A and B are shown apart, each in its own frame.
Chain A
Amino acid sequence: DAGVIQSPRHEVTEMGQEVTLRCKPISGHDYLFWYRQTMMRGLELLIYFNNNVPIDDSGMPEDRFSAKMPNASFSTLKIQPSEPRDSAVYFCASSREQGRIGELFFGEGSRLTVL
């Protein structure tokens, strides 16, 4: 299996620009998670989906952040407009309810720098 695939791996953008991060979960996984990692705040859960439906988005910091999962094989995290404090590594992870319950498979992350 190819694992969780995230793109882009690195993004540098200017304040005010729109940023879209993409994630392809492992085929057959029915849970998808978006996390943000910074030195100051560690790993924060932003939102997670089950069967493409958002279950808990209480970690989404502001209305500038939005996430979608139009189908089982694709999710996006959008920041509009971006701000320097959004600079972080954003991770996508997927999991499935049956089998090895609870194990999260992480992508390699998207490192975002907002100037």
Chain B
Amino acid sequence: SQQGEEDPQALSIQEGENATMNCSYKTSINNLQWYRQNSGRGLVHLILIRSNEREKHSGRLRVTLDTSKKSSSLLITASRAADTASYFCATDGGPSGTYKYIFGTGTRLKVLA
């Protein structure tokens, strides 16, 4: 069963705009991660946020985590055509399964040049 659900399923924006993707999950977690997948490739880790953190930045990426709402968001600022990819959140199993990483359904982002 999938732990995370991303929203929206697909997003199309112009280059230079910001892209926001949301992830909701069901059970308690130790950390939440975001991954990127280019078409036909494997997933690549972007950023990890721990359950005791509320916000984290990495370059043009900003991730927020609200454990009370069991949700996270990924913001990509000043998007580029090269950001076109699918983005997934992944949650661990919390206290009972730290390494049981479950992925959400993904958001397909298309950045138009």
Contacts and interface: CB of A to CB of B under 8 A. Distances in A.
Bind each other: yes
B37 to A, nearest CB: 8
Contacts, number: 58
A55 B42 CA distance: 23
Query: What bracket does the count of chain B residues touching chain A fall in?
Result: 20 to 34
Given A42-B106, A43-B88, A104 B41 contact: no
B102 interface: yes
A108 B88 contact: no
Given A55-B99, A108-B42, A109-B42, A102 B33 contact: yes
B92 A102 contact: yes
A48 B105 contact: no
Interface string B82-100: 0000001010100001111
Nearest to B46: A103
Contacts of A66: none
Interface string A89-112: 001010100001111111111000
A93 B88 CA distance: 15
A63 B2 CA distance: 21
Interface of A: 4, 31, 33, 35, 42-45, 48, 50, 55-56, 91, 93, 95, 100-109
Closest 9 CB pairs of A and B: A106-B42, A43-B103, A106-B43, A103-B45, A108-B42, A42-B105, A107-B42, A102-B31, A109-B42
A42 B2 contact: yes
B33 A103 contact: yes
Given A102-B92, A103-B33, A104-B90, A42 B103 contact: yes
Nearest to B31: A102
Nearest to B32: A102
A12 B45 CA distance: 29
Contacts of A95: 99
Contacts of A91: 42-43
Interface in B63-109: 88, 90, 92, 97-106
17 contacts: A4-B42, A31-B99, A42-B103, A42-B104, A42-B105, A42-B106, A43-B88, A45-B100, A45-B102, A55-B99, A56-B97, A102-B48, A102-B92, A103-B33, A103-B45, A103-B48, A108-B42
